[in-house]
Structure 1
Amino acid sequence: MTEPLSRTQSLVHSLRQLHSQLSESDIASIDELGAELAGDNLTHTKSEAPGDNEKKIYNAPDGGLWSWLQVLSAFLACSSSWGQVNTFGVFQAYYSSTLLAGKVTDSQISWIGTIQSSLVCLVGMFTGGLFDKGYRYSQAVIGQFFMLLGLAMTSLSTEYYQFILAQGVCMGLGAGLAFFAALGCIQAHFSNRRMIATGIAATGSSFGAIIFPIMLHRLIPQIGFGWSVRCLLLIEVVFAAVSLLVFRIPKEFDAIERHPRPIVDISIFKSIPYTWAVCGWFIIFVGGYIPLFYIEVYCNTIPGFQGNDLAQYMVSITAAGSILGRIIPNYLADKFGGLNMMIPGALMASILCFAWIGIKNVAGMIVFGILYGYASGSLVSLAGTSVLRLVDDISRVGVALGMNLFFCGIGALIGSPIGGAIYSNTGSFLGLQLFAAACLLCGVGCMMTAKLIYHRKLMHVV
């Protein structure tokens, strides 16, 4: 009896010594881990109970041939969808100077690009629920078809309303369906490496935004606008074929039991941190695309750019800068959290927009283009996945992504036309630059609010 008692006393003494050496943060981390383990045990118990309808535990492959092939599929889908969106600065400059010159204003022309970019996100309100219900491959196929159809019709268009319908509506709807299916597929294949996998796939939009503008600038003077766009169409046909060929969802993910829910599920906004984060993304997208749409137009007003072709390559230079912006922050996001990475990115973009006001030379604009490309690249690549930590139920990943991207789309829809109206009414870029910078800064404030509501510790992984 004495020996067991002495062992117990020795164990208690050791635990007291260990407790005295732990800091408050260590104790809090242990408490959080215990709560998570308790939750996991509870989930396992419920899923193993006979006749219970709770969701099963799903472990993503997090690697392997088929998982990385989905990254390739998403890379090509992003090249076709967001690559075209980020190329619109070239179309904006060409339409305003040549094809639609004198017919419509710069603000009206920007509606073509904003409708396209906003629909990529707006369709997420519906495609998120459809993705959760199993209509994934159908989304990808229909999306690729509408993108190719819209690009083909753009090559035949000559009037403003035709560009709105073909390049704005048709390509925007198709890009939204294809992009969301590819993004959701990555979420199904990756868990611990989710952010870096998404970042690599998102570099596809940078790839498209580098090669497409260069092609257009080189081909239009030689073969005309229509055939130049058809050359882009041929490339996108190849991208679509390869992307759909390797598209695949794990069978285990399809086997997850899901509660019946409507396609549009607003109950997800009961999460206060998620709601604040969505508000932040909305405001960021209002201002974030303004520099990308107007950088070439602005460069044409600087004397150093006049008389050479350098202004035509500013969109490609900005896209090149965004490549690292889509990889590095996403790699760090797997360790430190998506919100923790996008807040510095949005703050950097806001500071750069304020600095843009004073840039009046070629060297300064090139540096601005590279740095803003990096900052905006991190924002676009983290737009969907940064909110997933705020939603605990894996069966609602599609709804969480879709509703967030829907409000991103509304922001993208109204942002650039507002900037264009400011420029048209004032004849100066100052108001446009201040508006973009202020929107990005307000978005940072909303994101910080979401982060602190979710967890009061500043460095907590979110």
Structure 2
Amino acid sequence: MSDADNEKGRSLDSTENVKQPSIQVGYDEGWEAWSTALGVMLLQFSTYGYTNAHGVYTDFYVREYLPSYSSSQISWIGGAQFALSFLIGPVTGPMFDAGYFRTMCYGGSLLFSFSLFMLSLAQPNQFYQILLTQGIGLGLSIGLTYIPGIGLISHHFSRHRALAMGIGASGSALGGLIHPIVLNRLLRTGLGFQGAVKVSAGLCTASMGVACLMMYPRYPNGFIKKGFSMETWRGNVVRYFREPAFLFSSLGTCVALLGLYFPNFFLQLNAIKRGIDPNFAFYTISILNASNIPGRILPNLLVPRYGPFNAMILITFSCAVLIFGLYGVEDIGGTVGFAVLFGFFSGAYVGVVAPMVSSLAKDTSEIGSRVGTSLCLASISALTGSPIAGALLGDDFNWSPPILFSGATVALAAASFGMSRFFVARERGTWRV
């Protein structure tokens, strides 16, 4: 054998040794696996579930606590919160892959609790105080916990991964059901704004503490914790976006967030401005988020059979149709019907997006960085989507422009997911993708 052949053989052996720690580690049974899924659900209940109650804050700020600011300006609070939770994905994803799950999970939980208690000290008409605590503080803390939590489920599950991810993601819907009811009731008692936020901060702190105890990191045998390399990160990002399927799926995720959360932020305000009894309107966000729960879980039962891309196209298109349907919603019956249907399909979107992106990973070592990179691109839309909708709404509360904008962007996202599906199906030679 020639020296060249020997060198080639040594190179192949070296490559195999490098990839060995990235073997699939998923298993579909055991206490630690299901405890982790439930722990992630509880963590999502406390963090993303709290952001799903932002519609209550938006209504309260516009009408009572920040009357000197427009709805567009107030929307920057929720936009900053969502954007920052996605923006740091390219850092938290690789750090999770490198073995720093507990560092990010514990650190993010502490920051979330601190920021929420600081929000309780914010004074009326002090926009910057609320932006710093609720927009920036909560946004960063959610970003530190979201990808590590969802990614950890992938390490425990293989065959039932989509279902387990759906269970984990359902926590935010459960939080979106409970937190709005609690906040609405507390804000209208003698406790006032500061007391209401302190009570909810205590609830979130307790649930996050239990969640941290229930989650178990599981890395491959022989795994060695690594440092974060900017050079490696840049190389991976370039490689990911050279794949047409990843490019179009990330583009679809980005465009979708321009309009997908418009109902979450403005449905309660829309109901009140259309003359619906405020005592009922306060429950619209909770109804929407209650429908989120089956939406996060049930579609993921079909993903293993029909594929995440097929499911995502149907889900996103349905969300677009429903947003356009807001044109005809003017009474209690229409509001409830919209909240139930949109809650289900928007919940399905959140439940399927991570399995869809992670299905493009070559092995488990890429899951965190791929999901993080894709969500980072979406942070631009998360930041600007709500303020754009608020600006289109205007001080005269003309609902047609924001409805048209939000529905069109979500429809465009469905088309982008369709392009991604085309490339994946062509590569794998099957329509079940």
Same-fold call, TM cutoff 0.5: yes
Q: Tell me if structure 2 keeps the 8 A contact 1:80–1:175.
A: no
- CA shift, 1:454, in A, is 1.7
Aligned to 1:266: 237
Aligned to 2:17: 52
Q: Tell me if structure 1 keeps the 8 A contact 2:295–2:347.
A: yes
Q: Tell me if structure 2 keeps the 8 A contact 1:55–1:256.
A: no
Separation in structure 2 between the aligned mates of residue 301 and residue 379 of structure 1, nearest angstrom? 28
Q: Give the counterpart of 2:103 among 138, 147, 154.
A: 138
Q: TM-score, normalised by structure 2?
A: 0.91
Match runs of 1:31-430 below 5 Å? 52-56=17-21, 57-101=23-67, 103-158=68-123, 159-222=126-189, 223-252=191-220, 255=223, 262-264=232-234, 265-267=236-238, 268-303=240-275, 305-306=276-277, 308-424=278-394, 427-430=397-400
Amino acid paired to 1:208: G
**Deviation per CA, 1:134-180, whole angstroms, max 9, x where unpaired?**
11110101110111011001111111000000000001100111122
Amino acid paired to 1:226: Q
Aligned to 2:5: none
Change (3 A) 1:254 1:178: farther
Q: Tell me if structure 2 keeps the 8 A contact 1:144–1:178.
A: yes
Q: Secondary structure at the match of 1:390?
A: coil
Change (3 A) 1:179 1:99: same
Change (3 A) 1:95 1:60: same
Question: Runs of 4 or more off by more than 6 Å in structure 1?
Answer: 46-51, 256-260
**Deviation per CA, 1:430-450, whole angstroms, max 9, x where unpaired?**
000010110010001000001
Q: Tell me if structure 1 keeps the 8 A contact 2:115–2:134.
A: yes
Q: Tell me if structure 1 keeps the 8 A contact 2:155–2:364.
A: no
Q: Tell me if structure 2 keeps the 8 A contact 1:47–1:55.
A: no
Separation in structure 2 between the aligned mates of residue 263 and residue 234 of structure 1, nearest angstrom? 37
**Deviation per CA, 1:250-301, whole angstroms, max 9, x where unpaired?**
2426728999763454222121111111001101111101111110111012
- CA shift, 1:196, in A, is 0.5
- CA shift, 1:375, in A, is 0.8
Change (3 A) 1:431 1:253: farther
Q: Tell me if structure 1 keeps the 8 A contact 2:24–2:363.
A: no
Range that drifts further, 254-263 or 371-380: 254-263
Amino acid paired to 1:266: V
Change (3 A) 1:64 1:363: same
Q: Secondary structure at the match of 2:309?
A: helix
Q: TM-score, normalised by structure 1?
A: 0.85
- CA shift, 1:422, in A, is 0.5
- CA shift, 1:131, in A, is 1.0
Separation in structure 1 between the aligned mates of residue 332 and residue 393 of structure 2, nearest angstrom? 21
- CA shift, 1:341, in A, is 1.1
Separation in structure 2 between the aligned mates of residue 254 and residue 69 of structure 1, nearest angstrom? 24
Q: Secondary structure at the match of 1:288?
A: coil
**Deviation per CA, 1:42-80, whole angstroms, max 9, x where unpaired?**
xxxx99889833334333122210000111111111111
Q: Tell me if structure 2 keeps the 8 A contact 1:92–1:109.
A: yes
Unaligned runs of 5+ in 2: 1-10
- CA shift, 1:248, in A, is 1.4
Separation in structure 1 between the aligned mates of residue 188 and residue 81 of structure 2, nearest angstrom? 25
Q: Tell me if structure 1 keeps the 8 A contact 2:79–2:387.
A: yes
- CA shift, 1:206, in A, is 1.1
Range that drifts further, 218-227 or 372-381: 218-227
Amino acid paired to 2:170: T
Q: Secondary structure at the match of 1:408?
A: helix
Aligned-residue sequence identity (percent) comes to 29
Q: Give the counterpart of 1:453 among 413, 417, 423.
A: 423
Separation in structure 2 between the aligned mates of residue 314 and residue 398 of structure 1, nearest angstrom? 34
Separation in structure 1 between the aligned mates of residue 158 and residue 284 of structure 2, nearest angstrom? 36
Unaligned runs of 5+ in 1: 1-45
Higher RCO structure (Cα 8 Å, ≥6 apart): 2
Separation in structure 2 between the aligned mates of residue 230 and residue 193 of structure 1, nearest angstrom? 38
- CA shift, 1:339, in A, is 1.4
Q: Tell me if structure 2 keeps the 8 A contact 1:58–1:256.
A: no
Separation in structure 1 between the aligned mates of residue 97 and residue 294 of structure 2, nearest angstrom? 31
Q: Tell me if structure 2 keeps the 8 A contact 1:93–1:297.
A: yes
Q: Tell me if structure 2 keeps the 8 A contact 1:79–1:206.
A: yes
- CA shift, 1:408, in A, is 2.2
Separation in structure 1 between the aligned mates of residue 43 and residue 243 of structure 2, nearest angstrom? 31
Separation in structure 2 between the aligned mates of residue 169 and residue 443 of structure 1, nearest angstrom? 27
- CA shift, 1:369, in A, is 0.5
Amino acid paired to 2:142: A
- CA shift, 1:90, in A, is 0.1
